[in-house]
Amino acid sequence: MPAELSPIDKAKFVAAKRAVDFIESGMKVGLGTGSTAAWMVRCLGERVRQEGLKIVGVPTSTRTAELARQCGIHVTSLDEAKWLDITIDGADEFDQNLALIKGGGAALLQEKIVATASDQMIVIADAAKEVQQLGAFPLPIEIIPFGWQTSKALVEEMLVSMDVLARDVTLRMNGERPLVTDESNYILDLHLKRISNPRQLALVLNQIPGVVENGLFIDICDIVIIGHGDGRVTVRDINSGSETDDQILFAPTDNIFADLGE
C-alpha cells in the first residue's frame, strides 16, 4: 500500500468509498469539488474501470472535470444531461439539519446549480465538519467583479441587522490579485463565527445587487456520510431520520493514490 494516510485523509477516503456505493449503472452523477470530492471521483473511476460501471458525470468545476477524465469517467455538461440522479460533494460545514456551508474551493455557484438539479444530494465529510451552528467556517458568496466594492459595502450594511457573532468581510485573493471563479466572478468571505438563522441570511444575501449566489445550502442535502479515521462511516438520512454505522475495509489501490493533486 502507498504511504500511510493521515487520520483526516482516511476519514475522507472511507466517506467517499461508501458514497459511491449509491451509484448504479445508467445514472447521471454530479461530481463535487474539493479534497473529499476528489477521493470520490477516484473511487468512482475505480468502479468504472473494474466493474464496467456505465455512468455520465457532470463536474462542478474545471479541475473536477479534468480529474474525472483522468479517471476514465465520461463527462458532460449539465445542459446536455438536463437532470441528474444524484450529486456527491463535500462540505465545509454541516449541522444537524444537514444545512451546509460550501464554497471553500470557490466552486459554490456550479455546485449549487448541479446539486439542485439532482434527485438526491449526498455530502461526504470527515467528522470535524459537523457543527452545532454554522458560521465558524467563513461563508463564501460569489459576486460579479463590476462594482464589487459597492456589493461588499451593501453586504456589510446588511449584516448589521443579522444575528451573527462577527461581521468581517474580505475579498478572497489569489496571490496579489482577486481570485477569479470558473464563471469569472469574485468571492467574498464572510467571517461571521456564528449564524443563528441560515435560511434568513441566505434569502437576504441573494437580494443584494451584485451577489450571484451564496454558500449556504439549505434543504438541498439528503444524506451525509461522515468518515472517521479508524475506517468507520456514519450514514445519516435526513428524509428517513435514520442513522447507520458501517466499517470500510481500508485497502485503497495505487490507482486511487496516483498523482493526487489535492
Q: Are 172 and 105 found together in one domain?
A: no
- The candidate with the shortest Cα–Cα distance to 30, out of 92, 76, 63, is 76
Q: Are 123 and 171 found together in one domain?
A: no
Is 261 within a domain? no
CATH number, residue 230: 3.40.50.1360
Is 35 within a domain? yes
Q: Are 158 and 184 found together in one domain?
A: yes
Q: What is the pLDDT along the chain (262 residues), one digit of tens a residue?
A: 345 789 999 999 999 999 999 999 999 999 999 999 999 999 999 999 999 999 999 999 999 999 999 999 999 999 999 999 999 999 999 999 999 999 999 999 999 999 999 999 999 999 999 999 999 999 999 999 999 999 999 999 999 999 999 999 999 999 999 999 999 999 999 999 999 999 999 999 999 999 999 999 999 999 999 999 999 999 999 999 999 999 987 665 545 555 443 3
Q: Are 102 and 31 found together in one domain?
A: yes
Domain with 178 in it: 139-212
Is 19 within a domain? yes
Q: Are 96 and 25 found together in one domain?
A: yes
Q: How far is residue 33's CA from residue 102's CA, in Å, rounded to a whole number?
A: 10
User: Starting at the edge strand that comes first in sequence, how are the strands of the sheet with 139-143 ordered?
Assistant: 168-171, 186-191, 139-143, 211-214
pLDDT per residue over 109-167, tens digit each? 999 999 999 999 999 999 999 999 999 999 999 999 999 999 999 999 999 999 999 99
Into how many domains does the chain fold? Answer: 2
- Please indicate if the annotation marks 35 as binding a ligand: yes
Is 204 within a domain? yes
Q: Are 15 and 113 found together in one domain?
A: yes
Q: Are 177 and 85 found together in one domain?
A: no
- Please indicate if the annotation marks 230 as binding a ligand: no
Query: Which helix (H) or strand (E) covers residue 190, if one does?
Result: strand 186-191
Q: Are 12 and 112 found together in one domain?
A: yes
- Please indicate if the annotation marks 30 as binding a ligand: no
CATH number, residue 188: 3.30.70.260
Catalytic amino acids?
111
Q: Is 50 left (phi over 0), alpha (psi -120 to 50) or beta?
A: alpha
Q: How far is residue 178's CA from residue 255's CA, in Å, rounded to a whole number?
A: 35
Is 174 within a domain? yes
Record the pTM. Answer: 0.93
